[in-house]
């Protein structure tokens, strides 16, 4: 296969950096080897070579899945049998082999692919697959099993709490916590106006009233002052949400809650690993809730967890999670509970993800730093302000603010370049479902109108960031965009 001298040089230059071994299988490697390698390299694809290192073809996970479904045997099928010829010049893949003049693969080039780059992608490696297979083969596929106990114990310890109660998702974990705290009709729970709808929905589903408060324009979370203004005789709990990995001021919120005799239920769905005053978020409150949806920092597919330091509260949550049944007395229901259980299959994935959590946090930090480096000088793109050293945020999605008029232009231009750029969630007060609870929340509305999320995954490298920077530069230099960005910056005192 012919390659230009330039491509060969480029390949040699990249060889070390890209570690092409992760992308290569030998023709006589079994299907399992190819599956694990395609998962571990994060691209869902391997290149198959002969013993002399010469390229035989490509083998994507999609083809391996079909082969398995069609009945091919894991141990009787080799990568060589399944490989498809590599067509030079394909543009739909984010990686391509660099081939030397003897036809040997000497490096892998990462490049911009013509298929859509989603805003989030789960990172599932061989560890998750092996755990999942183990759980499956154990036949403990429902909500009893060793992985549940292990995940609850390891995750709660990581957060600095003593008890974990795994649930089916991060919405029902909020619901479960509220129910276990005895919050219901006639009660009020203070919830930020800028959050994913699940935070308020859980309050509504226990029959209580969400009291929506504006967020702080710097932290993007609720402030103590905003909370103090809405406390009423009906208030039972405060639900701070650590939006986009930015920690709410938990020490102050917990002090206020203690003075006022209120519960604190932290919604940590978007901030695994963030800290405030040196302590992990999730460790401050009576109960904290996490989500493990596929776009979260660690995932179990669907899944959630309540963590607490209170042994009685943990027992009560476990009972309510399981139809209100007393654990030691089968089919004896103390209360009409729920089925909010997580399966052992989900927990098996969670255990593997938890071991990789620091790796994910590092990757997200690197991606965020690349966006900032590439776009920060572009007038009209404002990255979140640094917070005081008491806040140790994490990156869930990398975010920036742009003028509301420019945002749709950027989203459209990125979509045309096959890049998924997302707007922030809407301010709750502005939507029909929450109109009866709505109040004026200018900071929340402004963030909702201006916020964008960038793709934040392992696939985002300097090529992707460079491409996004090009698209942004083109859009931001359009006359209409320039005028609106100038006004946006003036309004923001820049
Ligand atoms: C702040 C917040 N709370 C709760 C949830 C609900 O989690 P789940 O999707 O696991 O139900 C989410 C999920 O996106 C979230 O972002």
pLDDT band at residue 389 under the 50/70/90 scheme? very high
Query: Same fold for the domain at 126-355 and the one at 357-491?
Result: no
Q: How many helices (H) and strands (E) does the chain have?
A: 17, 18
Residue among 412, 402, 415, 413 at smallest CA distance from 452: 402
Give the tens place of pLDDT for each residue, 132-150: 999 999 999 999 999 999 9
Which of 198, 203, 221, 424 is the best mutation target for the ligand 1 pocket, counting ligand atoms within 8 Å of the beta carbon and taking the most? 198
Percent of the chain with pLDDT over 70: 96
Which of 291, 295, 424 is the best mutation target for the ligand 1 pocket, counting ligand atoms within 8 Å of the beta carbon and taking the most? 291
Q: What is the DSSP letter of 453?
A: E
Instruction: Compute the distance from residue 52 Cα to the ligand 1 centre, in Å.
Output: 50
Alpha carbons 247 and 239: distance in angstroms, whole number = 13
pLDDT of residue 234: 98
Order of strands across the sheet with 391-392?
A: 279-280, 275-276, 391-392
Q: Which atom of ligand 1 is nearest to the CA of 425?
A: 16
Which of 269, 298, 300 is the best mutation target for the ligand 1 pocket, counting ligand atoms within 8 Å of the beta carbon and taking the most? 269
Q: Which atom of ligand 1 is nearest to the CA of 292?
A: 10
Q: How many CB atoms within 10 Å of residue 479? A: 7
Which of 210, 270, 338 is the best mutation target for the ligand 1 pocket, counting ligand atoms within 8 Å of the beta carbon and taking the most? 270
- Whether 192 has a pLDDT exceeding 90, the answer reads yes
Tokens of 443: 């900071």
Q: Which atom of ligand 1 is nearest to the CA of 270?
A: 16
Q: Which atom of ligand 1 is nearest to the CA of 173?
A: 11
pLDDT of residue 14: 33
pLDDT of residue 18: 52
pLDDT of residue 87: 87
Give the tens place of pLDDT for each residue, 292-321: 999 999 999 999 999 999 999 999 999 999
pLDDT of residue 484: 81
Angle between helices 146-159 and 344-355 (to 10 degrees): 40
pLDDT of residue 235: 98
- Whether 11 has a pLDDT exceeding 50, the answer reads no
Q: How many CB atoms within 10 Å of residue 205? A: 15
Determine if ligand 1 sits within 6 Å of the CB of residue 170. yes
Residue among 258, 279, 276, 467 at smallest CA distance from 375: 467
Give the tens place of pLDDT for each residue, 166-190: 999 999 999 999 999 999 999 999 9
Give the tens place of pLDDT for each residue, 80-128: 999 999 988 777 888 899 999 999 999 998 887 888 999 999 999 999 9
Determine if ligand 1 sits within 6 Å of the CB of residue 245. no
Beta bridge partners of 192: 213
pLDDT band at residue 7 under the 50/70/90 scheme? very low
pLDDT of residue 483: 74
* Segments making up each domain of the chain, as ranges: 5-110, 126-355, 357-491
Q: Give the pLDDT mean for 457-466.
A: 92
- Whether 398 has a pLDDT exceeding 70, the answer reads yes
Smallest CA separation from ligand 1 atom 7, residue: 170
Classify residue 121 as exposed, middle or buried by CB count within 10 Å of its CB (0-12, 13-18, 19+).
middle
Instruction: Compute the distance from residue 178 Cα to the ligand 1 centre, in Å.
Output: 15
- Domain 126-355: give its CATH code: 3.40.640.10
Number of residues that this document lists for the chain: 494
Region of 448 please: left (phi>0), alpha (psi -120 to 50) or beta: alpha
Alpha carbons 311 and 163: distance in angstroms, whole number = 7
Percent of the chain with pLDDT over 90: 86
Q: Find the range with the poorest average confidence among 272-286, 297-311, 323-337.
A: 323-337
pLDDT of residue 111: 81
Alpha-carbon torsion angle 125, 126, 128, 131, nearest 10: -170
Q: Which atom of ligand 1 is nearest to the CA of 241?
A: 1
- Whether 239 has a pLDDT exceeding 80, the answer reads yes
Determine if ligand 1 sits within 6 Å of the CB of residue 300. no
Smallest CA separation from ligand 1 atom 4, residue: 198
- Whether 13 has a pLDDT exceeding 70, the answer reads no
pLDDT of residue 419: 95
Beta bridge partners of 459: none
Instruction: Compute the distance from residue 447 Cα to the ligand 1 centre, in Å.
Output: 19
Determine if ligand 1 sits within 6 Å of the CB of residue 167. no
Alpha carbons 207 and 197: distance in angstroms, whole number = 16
Instruction: Compute the distance from residue 106 Cα to the ligand 1 centre, in Å.
Output: 43
- Contact of 241 with 191, CB cutoff 8 Å: yes
pLDDT of residue 376: 85
Q: What is the DSSP letter of 266?
A: E
Order of strands across the sheet with 235-238?
A: 163-167, 304-308, 287-291, 263-267, 235-238, 188-192, 209-213
Which fold would CATH assign to domain 5-110?
CBS-domain (3.10.580)
Instruction: Compute the distance from residue 290 Cα to the ligand 1 centre, in Å.
Output: 8
Give the position of tokens 């020490």. Answer: 251
Instruction: Compute the distance from residue 169 Cα to the ligand 1 centre, in Å.
Output: 8
Mean pLDDT (the chain) is 93
Determine if ligand 1 sits within 6 Å of the CB of residue 194. no
- Contact of 276 with 250, CB cutoff 8 Å: yes
Smallest CA separation from ligand 1 atom 10, residue: 170
- Domain 357-491: give its CATH code: 3.90.1150.10
- Contact of 196 with 239, CB cutoff 8 Å: no
Please, what is the Cα angle at 334 between 191 and 141, to 5 degrees? 80
pLDDT of residue 493: 64
Determine if ligand 1 sits within 6 Å of the CB of residue 267. yes
Determine if ligand 1 sits within 6 Å of the CB of residue 195. yes
């Amino acid at each position: 296969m012919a390659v230009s001298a330039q491509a060969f040089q480029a390949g040699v230059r990249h060889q070390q950096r890209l570690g092409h071994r992760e992308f290569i299988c030998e023709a006589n490697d079994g299907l399992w080897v190819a599956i694990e390698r395609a998962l571990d390299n994060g691209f869902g694809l391997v290149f198959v070579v002969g013993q002399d290192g010469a390229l035989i073809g490509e083998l994507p996970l999609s083809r391996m899945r079909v082969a398995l479904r069609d009945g091919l045997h894991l141990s009787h099928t080799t990568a060589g049998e399944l490989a498809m010829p590599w067509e030079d010049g394909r543009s739909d893949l984010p990686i391509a082999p660099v081939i030397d003049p003897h036809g040997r693969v000497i490096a892998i080039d990462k490049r911009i692919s013509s298929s859509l780059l989603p805003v989030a992608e789960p990172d599932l490696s061989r560890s998750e697959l092996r755990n999942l297979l183990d759980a499956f083969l154990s036949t403990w596929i429902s909500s009893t099993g060793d992985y549940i106990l292990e995940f609850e114990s390891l995750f709660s310890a990581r957060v600095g709490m003593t008890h974990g109660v795994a649930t089916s998702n991060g919405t029902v974990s909020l619901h479960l916590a509220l129910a276990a705290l005895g919050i219901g009709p006639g009660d009020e729970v203070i919830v930020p106006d800028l959050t994913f709808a699940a935070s308020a929905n859980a309050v509504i589903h226990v029959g209580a009233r969400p009291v929506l408060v504006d967020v702080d324009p710097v932290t993007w979370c609720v402030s103590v002052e905003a909370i103090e203004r809405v406390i009423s005789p009906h208030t039972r709990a405060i639900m701070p949400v650590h939006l986009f990995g930015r920690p709410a001021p938990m020490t102050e919120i917990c002090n206020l809650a203690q003075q006022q005799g209120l519960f604190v239920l932290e919604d940590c769905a978007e901030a695994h690993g963030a800290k405030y005053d040196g302590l992990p978020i999730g460790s401050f409150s009576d109960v904290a809730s996490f989500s493990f949806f596929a776009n979260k920092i660690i995932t179990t597919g669907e899944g959630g967890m309540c963590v607490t330091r209170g042994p009685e509260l943990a027992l009560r949550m476990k009972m309510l999670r399981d139809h209100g049944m007393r654990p030691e007395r089968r089919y004896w229901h103390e209360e009409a509970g729920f089925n909010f259980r997580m399966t052992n299959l989900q927990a098996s994935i969670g255990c593997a993800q938890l071991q990789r959590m620091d790796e994910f946090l590092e990757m997200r930090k690197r991606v965020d730093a690349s966006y900032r480096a590439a776009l920060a000088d572009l007038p009209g793109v404002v990255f979140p302000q640094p917070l005081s050293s008491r806040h140790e945020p994490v990156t869930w999605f990398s975010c920036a603010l742009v003028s509301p008029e420019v945002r749709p232009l950027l989203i459209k231009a990125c979509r045309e370049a096959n890049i998924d750029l997302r707007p922030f969630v809407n301010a709750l007060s502005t939507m029909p479902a929450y109109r009866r609870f709505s109040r004026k929340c200018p900071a929340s509305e402004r963030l909702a109108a201006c916020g964008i999320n960038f793709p934040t995954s392992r696939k985002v490298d300097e090529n992707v960031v460079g491409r996004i920077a090009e698209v942004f530069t083109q859009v931001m230099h359009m006359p209409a965009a320039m005028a609106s960005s100038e006004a946006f910056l003036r309004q923001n005192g820049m």
